[in-house]
Structure 1
Amino acid sequence: MADKNQKGGLRFSTEVLETIAGIAASEVDGILAMSGGIVEGFTERLGRKNLTKGVTVELGETEVAVDLKVVVEYGRNVPEIYEQVVKNVERAITNMTGLKVVEVNMYVEGVGFPDESAPREKEGDKDAARVR
């Protein structure tokens, strides 16, 4: 089977892939926001202009790896949220681009409530928990 990404020189920018992954992750119940990370020192709720916030992709010729920094809803089962995020991100990227998603990593950087504008972080604990 011929690689459709090679035909006609079709290529995707990392920003396009980050946008696709950000939208797919934001559709999962339990994801409150994408996080800009510790460097920026704050998180923002998802909005049209912030769809790539907290999303990083590594792009190869036919494969892509995705890293997501998220804020999850307090009291939710994070491993279940992660499984749904992986399914959504893989499906969205593969369906739209034909690229194979080889890895999706989700870093939980905060916990919040749906009606809050900012997540609650455990005081003194600035390291994000990595779910794999």
Structure 2
Amino acid sequence: MTEKNHVIDMEEQYAKLGKVEISPEVIEVITGLAAAEVEGVATMRGNFATGVAEKLGRKSHGKGVKVDLGQDGISVDVYVVINYGVSIPDVAKKVQDNIHQTLRTMTAIDLNAINVHVVGIQLETQQVVVETAQD
């Protein structure tokens, strides 16, 4: 791969001051944080490597995000686990909107596609409190 596939060049209007390049890892982190802050998203789903890294104490903010730098532009795939009882289409649309807004504000990058993959449902865990009788 050439160096051009590893960074995202900003538009030429900024060229007078120098070159601005954004790494795909930065896009992953921003996308992951933007998706996780949407109400109804329980967690992001990573792969085996991110699971091992988190067990070793390394936090992966880009977990559950895949950035594709194709010939036709940039697309993002987001893998989320949704809370039980929420409208999946509504939450997925809010995830897309929040990612688009956040990336546009922080990086001025337009994406071709934001694909949301719902890979699971998080059921509410019930906590049972047992009271002991005190004499």
Q: Normalised by the size of structure 2, how large is the TM-score?
A: 0.69
1:74 aligns with 2:74: no
Inter-CA distance 93–62: structure 2 relative to 1 (3 Å threshold): farther
Deviation of residue 64 (structure 1)?
Answer: 2.4
Higher alpha-carbon deviation: 25-34 or 5-14: 5-14
Q: 1:4 to 1:92 in 2, by over 3 A?
A: farther
**Conserved? CA contact 1:64–1:102, under 8 Å:** yes
Q: State yes or no: 1:103 paired with 2:113.
A: yes
C-alpha separation in 1, matches of 2:105 and 2:33: 14
- CA gap of 1:5–1:87, structure 2 versus 1, over 3 A, is farther
Gaps of 5+ in 2: 1-9, 127-135
Query: Is the strand fraction higher in 1 or 2?
Result: 1
1:35-50 matches, cutoff 5 A = 35-37=45-47, 49-50=59-60
**Cα RMSD, aligned residues only:** 2.9
In 1, the alpha carbon distance for the partners of 2:11 and 2:82 equals 37
Q: Number of residue pairs matched?
A: 109
After TM superposition, the score normalised by the length of structure 1 is 0.70
The residue that corresponds to 1:125 in the other structure is none
> For each residue in 1:97-123, what CA deviation from the matched residue of structure 2 results, as whole angstroms up to 9, or x when unmatched?
11102210011111013558xxxxxxx
Cα gap change, 1:81/1:6 in structure 2, threshold over 3 Å: closer, same or farther?
A: same
Aligned to 1:127: none
Q: Indicate conservation of the 8 Å contact 1:63/1:99, yes or no.
A: no
